[in-house]
A and B are shown apart, each in its own frame.
Chain A
């Protein structure tokens, strides 16, 4: 990797077809599990749950009480499996599709809760609380997706990004803390952010 980094220092300013395709079209990379899922492969549901179950559950858990979170997670995977023919792996990732279903289910759930609360509030003569449900659920999902993307980075860029944004250190403070060269810190941050943004975008379907 060191040798590679020397010759290819990671700047891809000039839009050469080769690099452009490698870096910016994650959705067109057809993942074999995604395809197997839509084709109904024997082990595809279990594999999809093992890969994405904790992410989906984490989103539900952040937005809902734990019992509801478990119900909605089950419901997402069951309905995704039954509706798997609607998933087109050439147009997005399975993770993005599952996250989309999850957000809609959570929104439905919160809306029905709100209607219930509104009726109670009406009976009490109080003002119904206005909750921007969609925005809140989008925000929660984005946070969980970003946290998951950060966790999936290799050890060094993950630590550097954590120091830069969660601990709010400057590039120079990170250099002092880690002993890494400044160039490495900067490129880890840039490439890490690109990767996180790519995963966040694909979660938006």
Chain B
């Protein structure tokens, strides 16, 4: 693993930078031309590693935009109690989610609660066999994850709604999270969030 670097070192380097250092340097085009001709002379004979495409990989296999999908679940007449816009955090989240977005609603479901994904642009094609899973998080006072509960797997092409398990109070479990979950048999959150947002009453 990398050497330990503390903030002082980063700060010292930052202090030594000049504004001109922040200009991106554009390499001359001749460099790529040379690289291309040098590597074309040695043809790549690798057999591309072909991954078996499972149904999930077909759903979820390189991030290409899925296009916004609108859910069809709003026609049951359930009252919308709160909504959340889930957004991507480039500093903390898995980059698979960089182009993603989602809107969810908390619905009153005849005494229980449901979370409906009302609109979303989720990755449909990834280079790995994974599922997308939706979670409710109870944050503690410091903003850490105190408790987390899974609502289920999301099909990026067919958004749905998810029953909130009995005994889970959305007032406390107020953060909605979508993560990428490898099929490794581990049912806990993978740590690879792609979107998050807080429920706000409407």
Contacts and interface: CB of A to CB of B under 8 A. Distances in A.
Interface of A: 1, 3-4, 6-14, 16-23, 27, 29-32, 35-36, 39-42, 45-46, 49, 53-54, 57-58, 61, 70, 73-74, 77-78, 81-82, 142-144, 146-147, 150-151, 154, 161-162, 165-166, 168, 191, 193-197, 200-202, 204-205
A187 to B, nearest CB: 11
A3 B94 contact: no
B113 to A, nearest CB: 18
Contacts of B38: 74, 78
A75 to B, nearest CB: 9
Interface stretch (B16-24, B66-74, B151-159, B162-170): B16-24
B1 A27 contact: yes
Contact of B21 (A45, A147, A161, A205): A147
B191 A17 contact: yes
Contact of A70 (B9, B30, B87): B30
Given A49-B32, A205-B2, 19 more contacts: A3-B84, A4-B87, A9-B143, A13-B142, A14-B140, A16-B144, A18-B148, A39-B46, A40-B44, A40-B48, A46-B36, A49-B35, A70-B31, A74-B34, A74-B35, A82-B42, A154-B90, A166-B14, A196-B14
21 contacts: A7-B143, A10-B143, A11-B142, A17-B189, A18-B189, A21-B192, A32-B128, A39-B48, A40-B48, A42-B48, A46-B32, A46-B36, A54-B26, A146-B10, A147-B21, A154-B90, A166-B17, A168-B15, A195-B91, A197-B10, A201-B3
A30 B190 CA distance: 14
B150 interface: no
Interface residues of B, number: 70
Contacts of A61: 25
Contacts of A49: 32, 35
B55 interface: no
Residue from the set B18, B146, B190, B191 with the largest chain A CB neighbour count within 10 Å: B191
Contacts of B15: 165-166, 168
Contacts of B26: 54
Contacts of B35: 45, 49, 74, 77-78, 81
A200 B19 contact: no
Given A16-B145, A22-B191, A154-B90, A29 B85 contact: no
Contacts of B24: 54, 58, 151
A49 B28 CA distance: 12
B156 to A, nearest CB: 17
Given A4-B198, A168-B15, A9 B142 contact: yes
Main secondary structure of the interface of A (DSSP, over half): helix
Nearest to B188: A17
Interface string B167-178: 000000011000
Given A39-B46, A147-B22, A150-B22, A165 B14 contact: yes
Given A54-B26, A147-B17, A22 B32 contact: no
A201 B127 contact: no
A193 B2 contact: no
A4 B175 contact: yes
A58 B21 CA distance: 10
Interface in B89-106: 89-95
A79 B165 CA distance: 55
A12 B49 CA distance: 39
Contacts of B48: 39-42
Residue from the set A32, A154, A168 with the largest chain B CB neighbour count within 10 Å: A32
Nearest to B26: A54
A142 B87 CA distance: 32
Given A3-B200, A4-B197, A74-B35, A161 B14 contact: yes
